[in-house]
Structure 1
Amino acid sequence: MPTLLRLRAAALTVTAVLLSAVLAGCGDDGAEDQDLTQQELSWKDCPTPSDAQGGGAAPSPLPDGGEWQCATMKAPLDWDDPKGDTIGLELIRARSSGDEGARIGSLIFNFGGPGGSGVTSLPPSAEAYETLRTRYDLVSFDPRGVGRSAPVICQNDQQLDAYFQQDATPDDAAERTELLDSTKEFNDACEQNSKKMLPHVRTTDTARDLDLMRQVLGDDKLHYFGISYGTELGGVYAHLFPKKVGRAVFDAVVDPTKNGDQGSLAQAKGFQLALDNFAEDCVSKTEECPIGDSAQDVKDRIATLLKDLERRPVPGVFPRELTQTAATDGIVQALYSQELWEYLTQGLQQAYDGDGTILMLLSDSKNGRSENGEYDNSTAAHRAIGCADAKPRYDAAYVERKLPEFRAASALFGDAMAWGMIGCTDWAVAGAADHPEVSAPGSAPILVVGNTGDPATPYEGARKMVDALGKGVGVELTYRGQGHGAYSSKNKCVQDAVNGYLLDGKVPRAGTICT
């Protein structure tokens, strides 16, 4: 579902920012004389993240002082030719902290995207999952096409700076042509630089990688924690391997029944709801809201700011300026988590005074740009995986016909969401299906957690996932909260339910509500 917005679970990493290369590719070695399920992983200290993973320092020690370990698993480049060329998939793990006799196995995480590095996403979240580590090795990975796992590469840093500065909501024929040309240039660069990988990054391919990973890690069943897009990946796995599902949790659930334009429209509504909640929260506080006298005034001032920025950008992170598109991206990023609302308030205050620094930092976080101006490969991977998965291809004429519906859903985000649908136009690889297949008769119970205030994966997707998984498989739990995801909110009711299932196999009562 390639839209303007990524379904990211790692939005909180921007807090640290505000407060303060391709190393694996397609191999030529065939698997003709080896059984990849029998390979032994060589676990070592984790290196510093590659450019495609986002750079930075090696992961800090675990809360108990233990060290993270990394390894590379071989997988077929083409699952239709499992004895052919292989690629390396990067894994990270934290060994179980409990007694060996109490260990259940490995708990594999996917934090979403598609396009997010699981190797760099797990360590910052380690403290949140310490309880689960008492009985599991915590494991995450860079899916194929992402980070160190044969990354898809499209444009360079300078080109991406220009790409994210462009007007993503054209108002006339000239701006429309510019957006379409820019999109084609990006997609052509993906084909030129990553042609060999593009046909092999579908979610079904990654689901098969997961099953290989399960076997290589020595588990009879896959124990899994999927967040955001990770719920789609988990659903596809359950469909392909229902008898191999162990204890699985889906949090921040993608609606598997929607095609591309339906998913984009749902996101427009979801982020509008989150903006409404942000505005209401600001004016409901005991102190005066610094960005508006009423909730409607807050939203009206934001709309005026965005219109002004289209005509006259303000200084952002030197030498770049805060454009309308960058400001919209920054607002979107902050709406992923209620913990970021204070930064959105500060960023809007700054922007009203002609300083776009905070909103641009938020925008950079959303787009995978580091403080030193280097981009990870999440944008490229997101495009490649989404376009390989989704069959529909939307042109400018279709978008223009849909604009009234999108604007009715969100005056602020509707245009951006609608124009985001052109990302797969003229993509080099045909899309696989209208929507993912997740029916999983015979699977063990899967705990499906929906958040009523989730902007990126709206709440109704949880019920649709439960229904699509099939009778007796999906067990729905509702969190009445804000932000993208429920477990990360630290709500005790949610965490007790999830921990009880993963650690002790206690399936919550279907329809449980946490507040």
Structure 2
Amino acid sequence: MANPSRLRAVALTTSAVLLAALLAGCSEGAKDGDLTAQKLDWQDCPVPSEAEGGGTSPSPLPNGAKWQCATMKAPLDWSKPKGDTIDIALIRAKATGDPSRRIGSLIFNFGGPGGSGVATLPAFGADYTTLNTRYDLVSFDPRGVGRSAPVKCESDSQLDAYFQQDATPDDSAERTQLLDRTKQFNSACEKHSKKILPQVRTTDAARDMDLMRQVLGDDKLHYFGISYGTELGGVYAHLFPKNVGRAVFDAVVDPTQDPEQSALGQAKGFQLALDNFAEDCTSKKEECPIGDTPQDVKDRIAKLLADLEKKPIPGIFPRQLTQTAATNGIAQSLYSKDFWEYLTEGLQQAYEGDGKILMLLSDSMNGRSENGEYSNITAANIAINCSDEKPRYTADYVQQKLPEFRAASPVFGDYLAWGMVSCTDWAVPGAADHPDVSAPGSAPILVVGNTGDPATPYAGAKRMVDALGKGVAVELTYKGQGHGAYDSKNKCVQSAVNDYLLDGKVPKAGTVCS
């Protein structure tokens, strides 16, 4: 089972076993324990670690900018700033324009929590070449992620079993099995990562970013946060309002919700995206191969999932496509309208007894590579969420809430409701019901909400604006589909964001792009 709270993540390509190896570019030791004085030794980037997803060293950007990597020392425990340290992996592409017009570093976080910025920034880097004219593009593996003191839980074979389990139990025996398997996973995290688990809260990552700002030589933190990255950015603004430079929040997490409210909001968001997918398929001139009407499309999907509950079909040998894996794969395909064609093809195949495409989509969500190795995105995601989120939900409580979740989404309701038990028996207590992002005195923050976003529903953008405080945030609405707005390549959105980040021009509040 993918941890359903991870459905607010950006779709990432990651894979495999965790390695605590150092990056090639190590930082020089800071004098007298002053970590702000450390000098980063930027070198050519190595091949991504398995924890980051594996693959090859990043290729230069279309503008010729090359990627460089380094490590930054940060306190293991921010309450003991002169104590033990950990390495935070960084990546950058230096600004390509006139050096006299360089603004500074633009730091990206692409979400998760648990996504490797070192792996993701090069993958999406071509989208940011305009910003690269005046900024060094910078990202990082947050603590607990990738090469930055990664959380370790289970082995690849154990994770295969974990993701094959029934995540939507129908009786007491299946509920017991789900809870036992969750406890087994959480115990493995404590066994293998006991030292780092208490130190991966979002507040810790925000403090790392302020250290990063200083080490990079910037007076202000210029920031681009996507998905969970908006929550991290909001927490940073709360802790360091006077240090905020030009900041953009895209695909906005609702900071006012507890985990239950967030899961219910996602159920509604993914159902809306599925409705839009079904409407799109059946509204075209050519025949929709998976249904005659939007309701027919959804009815056939529901029947497929019910059939898979009774009898899985062949997926990627030797694994079979289970109901849980299919639900996970469908959810993954709703992150971007660009994926809708793969969902259509995957459903066509599944109706004929072939589950390969839906399983590939599910594997992508879970961070599983073709060679069967997993990144640590699931381990890091659960660790960060459970450290941040105070509530601990019981099976009895979830059972009571199922009617409400099913009303929100016949397809995703059970899946997201049962995901609330992920933090049961977690070794570290959660910090709060929801993050504090109030940031009086901060520079303007551009908050971009997408009306069709499944993972971070549109209503969260307005709530982020209100929570940041009066006079801080400016809201921009994108009437589109998928998770996020800037990477949709909508010219109106990109122009507004670029004008703000490059020239400081704040768009008029309430601007709408379509």
- TM-score, normalised to structure 2, is 0.97
Show the 5 A alignment for 1:51-450: 51-450=50-449
Distance 1:255 1:32 in 2: 41
What is the DSSP-based 3-state SS (H/G/I as helix, E as strand, rest coil) of the residue aligned with 1:113? coil
Offset of 1:145 from its aligned partner?
0.1
5+ residue gaps, structure 2: none
Kept in 1, the 8 Å contact 2:9–2:455? The answer is: no
Q: Give the corresponding residue for 1:452.
A: 451
Moved over 6 A (4+): 29-32
Deviations 1:323-352 (A, max 9, x none): 000000000000000000000000000000
Aligned mates of 1:7, 1:449 — CA distance in 2: 19
- What do residues 81-118 of structure 1 show as CA deviations (whole Å, max 9, x unaligned)? 00000000000000001010010000000000000000
Separation in 2 of the partners of 1:169 and 1:119?
34
Q: Which amino acid aligns with 1:303?
A: A
Tell me: CA distance 1:13–1:54, structure 2 relative to 1, closer, same or farther (3 Å): closer
Q: Secondary structure at the match of 2:129?
A: helix
Question: Contact 1:315/1:321 (CA < 8 Å) preserved in 2?
Answer: yes
CA–CA separation in structure 1 for the residues paired with 2:349 and 2:251: 31
1:421-500 equivalences in 2 (<5 Å) = 421-500=420-499
Equivalent residues of 2:30, 2:36 under 8 A apart: no
The CA deviation string for residues 430-480 of structure 1, in whole angstroms up to 9 with x for no partner, is 000000000000000000000000000000000000000000001000000
| Contact 1:450–1:476, Cα closer than 8 Å, also in 2 | yes
Could you tell me which amino acid in structure 2 is paired with residue 154 of structure 1? Answer: C
SS in 2 for 1:37: helix
Matched residue type, 1:341? W
Cα distance between partner residues in 2 of 1:199 and 1:30:
25
Q: Distance in 2 between matches of 1:67 and 1:405?
A: 50
Instruction: Provide Cα deviations, 1:301-320, integer angstroms capped at 9, x if missing partner.
Output: 00000010111111101110
CA distance in 2, matches of 1:112, 1:389: 15
Counterpart position of 1:507? 506
Structure 1 residues 389 and 30, CA gap change in structure 2 (3 angstroms): farther
Note if contact 1:59-1:123 (Cα within 8 Å) is conserved in structure 2: yes
SS at match of 1:394: coil
Deviation of 1:5 (Å): 4.0
SS at match of 1:513: strand
- Kept after mapping to 1: 8 A contact 2:279/2:294: yes
Question: Aligned-pair distance for 1:66?
Answer: 3.0
Q: Counterparts of 1:8 and 1:144 in 2: how far apart (Å)?
A: 19
Q: Is the 8 Å Cα contact of residues 12 and 364 (structure 2) preserved in structure 1?
A: no
Indicate if the aligned counterparts of 2:270 and 2:455 stay in contact, CA closer than 8 A: yes
- 1:139 positional shift: 0.1
Shift of 1:6: 1.6
- Partner SS state of residue 91, structure 1: strand
Deviation string for 1:224-278 (max 9, x for gaps)? 0000000000000000000000000000000000001000000000000000000
Structure 2 residue 6 is the aligned partner of structure 1 residue 6: yes
- Give the secondary-structure state (helix, strand or coil) at the position aligned to 1:418: helix
1-structure distance, mates of 2:9, 2:123:
12
Matching residue within 2, 20, 23 for 1:22: 20
Residue 8 of structure 1, CA deviation: 5.4
Contact 1:276 1:295 in 2 (8 A): yes
Once the 2 structures are TM-superposed, how far is the Cα of residue 51 of structure 1 from its aligned partner?
1.1
Write the distance in 2 (CA, Å) between the matches of 1:402 and 1:351.
Answer: 30
Deviation per residue, 1:160-187 (Å, 9 max, x gap): 0000000000001111111000000000
Alpha-carbon contact 2:67-2:92 (below 8 Å) kept: yes
Whole-Å separation in 2 of the counterparts to 1:513 and 1:187: 43
For residues 6-30 of structure 1, give each alpha carbon's deviation from its aligned partner in whole angstroms, at most 9, with x where no partner exists. Answer: 255642759xx9xxx23159x9x99
Seen in structure 2, the aligned counterparts of structure 1 residues 400 and 24 have a Cα distance that, compared at 3 Å, is farther
Deviations for 1:403-450, whole angstroms, at most 9, x for unmatched residues? Answer: 111011001100000000000001000000000000000000000000
Q: Which structure 1 segments of 5+ residues have no match? A: none
Q: For the structure 1 residues 460 and 10, does the alpha-carbon distance in structure 2 shift closer, same or farther, using more than 3 Å as the test?
A: closer
1:452 partner letter: T
Contact (CA 8 Å) 1:128, 1:488: kept in 2 or not?
A: yes
Where 2:33 maps in the other structure, the secondary structure is coil
Number of matched pairs = 507
User: Which residue does the alignment assign to 2:34?
Assistant: 35
User: For each residue in 1:60-84, what CA deviation from the matched residue of structure 2 results, as whole angstroms up to 9, or x when unmatched?
Assistant: 1221233210000000000000000
d(CA) in 1 for partners of 2:375 and 2:139? Answer: 18
SS in 2 for 1:97: coil
> Given that residues 267 and 412 in structure 2 are in contact (C-alpha distance below 8 angstroms), is that contact kept between their aligned partners in structure 1?
yes
The percent identity for this pair of structures is 76
Against the structure 1 CA distance between its residues 491 and 431, is the aligned structure 2 distance closer, same or farther, given a 3 Å change threshold?
same
Report the Cα distance in structure 1 between the residues aligned to 2:37 and 2:467, rounded to whole angstroms. Answer: 34
CA distance in 1 between counterparts of 2:170 and 2:178 reads 11
- 2:290, 2:482 → 1: CA distance? 21
Letter in 2 for 1:236: V
Following the alignment from structure 2 to structure 1, what is the Cα–Cα distance between the partners of residues 223 and 196? Answer: 26
Contact 1:314 1:356 (C-alpha < 8 Å) held by counterparts: yes
Deviations 1:35-73 (A, max 9, x none): 100100000000001111111111112212332100000
CA RMSD of aligned residues (A): 1.7
Q: Tell me, yes or no, if the aligned pair for 2:313 and 2:355 is still in contact at 8 Å.
A: yes
Q: How far apart are the structure 2 equivalents of 1:337 and 1:238?
A: 29
State the secondary structure of the residue aligned to 2:441. coil
Q: Secondary structure at the match of 2:139?
A: strand
1: CA distance, partners of 2:211 / 2:109: 15
The CA distance in 1 between the partners of 2:331 and 2:52, in whole Å, is 22
| Cα displacement (A) at 1:32 | 9.0
What TM-score, normalized to structure 1? 0.96
Partners in 1 of 2:472 and 2:484 — Cα distance?
A: 21
Partners of 1:130 and 1:73 lie apart in 2 by: 25
Q: Secondary structure of the equivalent of 1:509? A: coil
Write out per-residue CA displacement over residues 134-166 of structure 1, whole angstroms, 9 at most, x where no aligned residue: 000000000000000000000000000000000
- Residue identity in the other structure for 2:417: A
